[in-house]
């Protein structure tokens, strides 16, 4: 089992910054591919960023490219998402995930989500 605990969400004005963290724990956790998925009201879920096991390759959705940056600290089993120049459309629940097969299949582990609200 793998447990993922997110933190760092909150309310921020447009143009502001937040840093999300996700700590992974559990007897079976190894450095899987990890990422952040956003569920915005009335919109489809979107993977906003992901990072490979070693932290060498990152993906950022076009909507956040240049503003968000994903990183990880494998020594501390922690995933980060630095979010700058936030926009109201970034509002949503952000879920951390750990993906053993890098395919978002049914064996993917999910955190409980953290709310990010960006006011205009």
pLDDT in tens, 71-103: 999 999 999 999 999 999 999 999 999 998 888
Over the stretch 11-20, which tens digit does the pLDDT of each residue have? 999 999 999 9
CA 14 to chain centre: 19
Checking if the pLDDT of 1 tops 90, the result is: no
Tokens of 73: 């600290």
For the beta carbon of residue 25, count every other beta carbon within 10 angstroms. Answer: 11
Task: Write down the pLDDT at residue 92.
Answer: 98
Checking if the pLDDT of 67 tops 80, the result is: yes
Q: Quote the CA–CA distance of 78 and 63 in Å, as a whole number.
A: 24
Checking if the pLDDT of 26 tops 90, the result is: no
8 Å CB contact between 113 and 93: yes
The helix (H) or strand (E) run that includes residue 31 is none
Task: Write down the pLDDT at residue 31.
Answer: 85
């Amino acid at each position: 089992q793998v447990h993922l605990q997110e933190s760092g969400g909150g309310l921020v004005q447009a143009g502001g910054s937040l840093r999300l963290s996700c700590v992974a724990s559990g007897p079976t956790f190894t450095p899987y591919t990890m990422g952040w998925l956003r569920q915005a009201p009335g919109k489809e879920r979107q993977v906003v960023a992901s990072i490979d096991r070693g932290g060498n390759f990152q993906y950022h959705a076009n909507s956040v490219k240049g503003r968000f940056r994903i990183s990880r600290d494998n020594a501390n089993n922690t995933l980060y998402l630095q979010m700058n120049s936030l926009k109201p459309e970034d509002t949503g629940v952000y879920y951390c995930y750990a993906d053993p097969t890098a395919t978002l299949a049914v064996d993917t582990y999910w955190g409980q989500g953290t709310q990010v609200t960006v006011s205009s």
